[in-house]
Amino acid sequence: MKVFWISHTGKLGGAERCLAEASLGLVAAGHEVRVVLPFVGELKSHLEGCGVTVFTIPYLWWVHDANTKLNWLTALWRVVNHVRAAYRMRRLIGSFEPDVVITNTITVPSGALAAKLGNTPHVWYVHEFGDKDHNLVFDHGKRASFWLINKLSDRVIVNSRPVCRYVQQHLPESNPAVVYYAVDVAPPVQHATLPNGFNLVLVGRIGSGKGQHEAIEALSVLQRGGLADLHLTLVGAEFDPAYSTHIRGLIEKHNLPQHVHIEGFSQSPLSYLREADVVLVCSSNEAFGRVTVEAMKLSRAVIGARAGGTEDLIQDGITGVLYEPGNIDDLAERIKQLYADAALRLQIGSNAYKWSTATFNRENSTTDLLKVIKRVTSNRCNK
Cα 238 to its chain centre, rounded Å, is 17
Residue 381: exposure state from Cβ atoms within 10 A (0-12, 13-18, ≥19)? exposed
Mean pLDDT of 86-95: 95
Rounded Cα distance, 94 and 120, in Å: 9
Whole-number pLDDT of residue 134: 86
Q: What pLDDT is attached to residue 240? A: 85
Q: How far is CA 263 from the centre of its chain?
A: 21
Span 367-378, average pLDDT: 93
pLDDT value, residue 191: 78
Using CA atoms, how far residue 244 sits from 68, 162, 177, 236, in Å, is 20, 29, 37, 11
Answer whether residue 288 shows pLDDT above 80: yes
Three-state SS for 191? coil
Whether the per-residue pLDDT at 146 is higher than 90: the answer is: yes
Tell me if 271 sits within 8 A of 293, measured CB to CB: no
pLDDT at 188 over 90: no
More confident residue, 332 or 130: 332
Amino acid identity, position 7: S
Is this prediction's pTM over 0.85?
Answer: yes
Indicate the residue type of 304.
G
When pLDDT is averaged across residues 307-311 and rounded to a whole number, the result is 92
Type of residue numbered 148: L
Q: Tell me, what's the pLDDT at 140?
A: 92
The lowest-confidence range among 12-16, 25-29, 87-91, 217-221 is: 12-16
Q: Are strands 53-56 and 230-235 parallel, antiparallel or unpaired?
A: unpaired
Q: How far apart are the first and last CA of the chain?
A: 20
Q: What is the pLDDT of residues 233-265, one digit of tens each?
A: 999 998 888 999 999 999 999 999 999 999 988
* Residue 61's pLDDT band (cuts 50, 70, 90): very high
Give the rounded percent of residues in the chain with a pLDDT score beyond 90: 84
pLDDT tens digits for range 310-331: 999 999 999 999 999 999 999 9
Can you give the pLDDT at residue 382? 66
pLDDT band at 122 (very low <50, low <70, confident <90, very high): very high
pLDDT score recorded for residue 67: 87
DSSP letter for 175, please.
-
Domains parsed from the chain with CATH numbers: 2-182+361-377 (3.40.50.2000), 198-359 (3.40.50.2000)
